[in-house]
Amino acid sequence: MNKTGKNKTTVKNRLPLNEGSRKFEEQINQYYLLQEFIDNIPDYIYIKDKKNRFIMINRAMADFLGSKPENIIGKTDFDFFPDDRSKEYSSDEKQAMKEHRPIIDKVDKLTYKGKEHWISASKIPWYDREGNVLGTMGISRDITTRKRSTDSRLKESEEFSQSILENSPSPIYVMNIDKSMRYVNPAFEKLTGFTAKEIIGTKPPRPYWIKGMENIYTPNLEIALSKGVNNLELPFANKKGKKFWVEVSLKPLRGDDGKIKYMLGIFTDITERKNTYHELEKTLDNIINTLSSIVETRDPYTSGHQKRVTLLSVEIAKELKLDDEKIKFIKIAAQLHDIGKINIPPSILSKPASLSDVEFNIIKSHPQTGFNIIKNINFRFPVENVILQHHEREDGSGYPAGLKGREISLEAKIIGVADVVEAMCSHRPYRPSLGIKAALNEIKTNKGKLYDPDVVDACLKVFKSGKFSFPEVNLRDFL
Ligand SMILES: [Fe+2]
């Protein structure tokens, strides 16, 4: 009150009161009221003319500048602040006046009289009654304390996050939106063998990418950037060139505005699991090959039959655009489709003449025998059902169950067609090879009747492409 009162007296004494009119008195009172009001506001308030000269300031502003208001009026920022700051303030005010647009809450650092201040400033153009720009009005707030407290909290939070990342046993990285690497933790350095210095800042291809696999990594990276990825299994190579497998999870990190700022990636090392899995697959492969060859050693004339049927079945499956898992399934089933023949006497299997009805009925038991042998092995796929159905035909004329059309699985239909084509192309004890032309004629003629039309078309395409032919298989391969 005493400050305001003092100011009021000073201004009053300087004002021309000689007219003494009531209206003028009222205006003067309003002016004092306004001055009193702004002098009581702790923010820095000022009004400048078009040439950025102060024409009014409040007490807080005068105190900040360390002078009396009457000594500041008529001066500019250049009389108080460093040149670079003053130039920017002046430029902001000119812009606000030119564009008739206020500048709100612009936060800047100001060093004044050796002290650092963080100032949040708003500048608004002001006008006369006709709408002409007269200058700018400004209100600024010293937010140094708040900023320091926020910075300190932020620093504390950053240090906390950093400590978690640095001590995490999981390899973690942060990628910028332009795909350059921003951060990797020590666990990531350990897994890849590359130092943070060697990785940070790099754009794809990464140093740990396996050469020649860019066509796998790049599309996955694009998908990850658009929607993130979860537990994607990928192989990489460490600095010494040793392959390792990881499950990659990549999630977007968003800023306050909701926009993606970074991508956070986590690797889970699954090398051991993968190696074990591969070892098991290899073992399984060996078992399947052994089982497959046991039955063929009992019938030298059909040696390699299952192997050749497998090769053709896989090609038909690929032509039908089946996925990798389905193809794996078909491969196993084709390798074992005649396993049930193990129960048939070699004298019948290798008989160099037509079979009697009894003998043929014995032969016809092999799908069921194969089913019984395989049904207790857990292959991840119902291999036994395909073995059981590989002699079923579209019109129900097949065996053992006389299934029709959709009752027969696609896998069994594929192996069925490959089986017929391979058998007709091979020599038998009772006849020479009938040749590929006759084999393809057989499936073409009975397309839709005995054989699935799509499977027949796919098989014809495989041979038409010229890229497939049955390899000669040496009997010794199966002994
Ligand atoms: Fe068969």
Picking from 132, 133, 107, 104, the residue whose alpha carbon sits closest to that of residue 118 is 107
- Distance, CA 191 to ligand 1 centroid (Å)? 50
- Distance, CA 268 to ligand 1 centroid (Å)? 45
Q: Is 366:385 a contact under the CB 8 Å cutoff?
A: no
- Distance, CA 464 to ligand 1 centroid (Å)? 25
74 token code pair: 């008529």
- Distance, CA 374 to ligand 1 centroid (Å)? 15
- Distance, CA 440 to ligand 1 centroid (Å)? 18
Place of tokens 């900040």: 64
Q: Summarize pLDDT for 412-433 with one digit per residue, the tens.
A: 999 999 999 998 888 776 677 7
CB-based contacts of 66, cutoff 8 Å, min separation 6: 113
DSSP 357-399: HHHHHHHTTHHHHHHHHHTTS--SS-HHHHHHHTT--TTS-SS
- Distance, CA 283 to ligand 1 centroid (Å)? 25
CB-based contacts of 357, cutoff 8 Å, min separation 6: none
- Distance, CA 341 to ligand 1 centroid (Å)? 8
- Distance, CA 366 to ligand 1 centroid (Å)? 7
Distances from the Cα of 290 to the Cα of 306, 332, 418, 478, angstroms: 12, 12, 21, 8
CB-based contacts of 214, cutoff 8 Å, min separation 6: 204, 205
Three-state SS at 184:
strand
- Distance, CA 470 to ligand 1 centroid (Å)? 18
- Distance, CA 295 to ligand 1 centroid (Å)? 12
Model's pTM, two decimal places? Answer: 0.54
- Distance, CA 178 to ligand 1 centroid (Å)? 57
- Distance, CA 338 to ligand 1 centroid (Å)? 5
pLDDT at 18: 58
pLDDT at 33: 81
CB-based contacts of 439, cutoff 8 Å, min separation 6: 420, 421, 422, 424, 425
- Distance, CA 282 to ligand 1 centroid (Å)? 25
Q: 175 burial class (0-12, 13-18, 19+ CB within 10 angstroms)?
A: buried
Q: Is 300:475 a contact under the CB 8 Å cutoff?
A: yes
Three-state SS at 431:
strand
- Distance, CA 363 to ligand 1 centroid (Å)? 9
- Distance, CA 335 to ligand 1 centroid (Å)? 11
- Distance, CA 156 to ligand 1 centroid (Å)? 72
- Inter-residue long-range contacts of 168-173, CB under 8 Å, 24+ positions, other chains counted: 170/266, 170/267, 170/268, 171/246, 171/266, 171/267, 171/269, 172/264, 172/265, 172/266, 172/267, 173/199, 173/264, 173/265, 173/267
Element (H, E) at 33: helix 22-39
- Distance, CA 160 to ligand 1 centroid (Å)? 67
- Distance, CA 316 to ligand 1 centroid (Å)? 18
Q: Is 132:38 a contact under the CB 8 Å cutoff?
A: no
- Distance, CA 328 to ligand 1 centroid (Å)? 19
Picking from 446, 426, 428, 445, the residue whose alpha carbon sits closest to that of residue 436 is 426
Can you tell me the distance from the alpha carbon of 398 to that of 7, in angstroms, rounded to the nearest whole number?
112
Can you tell me the distance from the alpha carbon of 100 to that of 306, in angstroms, rounded to the nearest whole number?
85
Picking from 441, 454, 459, the residue whose alpha carbon sits closest to that of residue 316 is 459
- Distance, CA 407 to ligand 1 centroid (Å)? 18
- One-letter amino acid of 158: E
339 token code pair: 């396993």
Distances from the Cα of 273 to the Cα of 13, 22, 278, 324, angstroms: 91, 95, 9, 20
- Distance, CA 339 to ligand 1 centroid (Å)? 8
- Distance, CA 391 to ligand 1 centroid (Å)? 6
pLDDT in tens, the chain (479 residues): 344 444 444 444 445 555 556 777 777 777 788 888 888 889 999 999 999 999 989 999 999 999 988 899 999 999 999 999 899 999 999 999 999 999 998 998 888 888 888 999 999 998 988 889 999 999 999 998 888 888 888 888 888 888 888 999 999 999 998 999 999 999 999 999 999 999 999 999 999 999 988 888 888 888 888 778 888 899 999 999 999 999 999 988 888 788 888 899 999 999 998 888 888 888 888 888 888 778 777 776 666 888 899 999 999 999 999 999 899 999 999 999 998 888 888 888 777 777 888 888 998 999 999 999 888 887 888 999 999 999 999 999 999 999 999 999 999 999 999 999 998 888 776 677 788 889 899 999 999 999 999 999 999 999 898 888 887 644 333 33
Can you tell me the distance from the alpha carbon of 216 to that of 294, in angstroms, rounded to the nearest whole number?
39
- Distance, CA 323 to ligand 1 centroid (Å)? 25
Q: Summarize pLDDT for 211-226 with one digit per residue, the tens.
A: 988 888 888 888 888 7
- Distance, CA 181 to ligand 1 centroid (Å)? 57
137 token code pair: 């009005």
pLDDT at 479: 32
- Distance, CA 321 to ligand 1 centroid (Å)? 25
421 token code pair: 């084509």
Measured in degrees and rounded to the nearest 5, phi and psi for residue 172 equal -125, 145
- Distance, CA 404 to ligand 1 centroid (Å)? 18
- Distance, CA 362 to ligand 1 centroid (Å)? 12
Cis amide prior to 252 (ω within 30 degrees): no
360 token code pair: 């043929």
pLDDT at 428: 72
Q: Summarize pLDDT for 389-402 with one digit per residue, the tens.
A: 999 999 999 999 99
112 token code pair: 């004044």
Q: 187 burial class (0-12, 13-18, 19+ CB within 10 angstroms)?
A: buried
Element (H, E) at 7: helix 2-14
**CA count, 13 A, side-chain hemisphere, 287:** 11
- Distance, CA 314 to ligand 1 centroid (Å)? 17
- Distance, CA 281 to ligand 1 centroid (Å)? 25
Can you tell me the distance from the alpha carbon of 459 to that of 318, in angstroms, rounded to the nearest whole number?
10
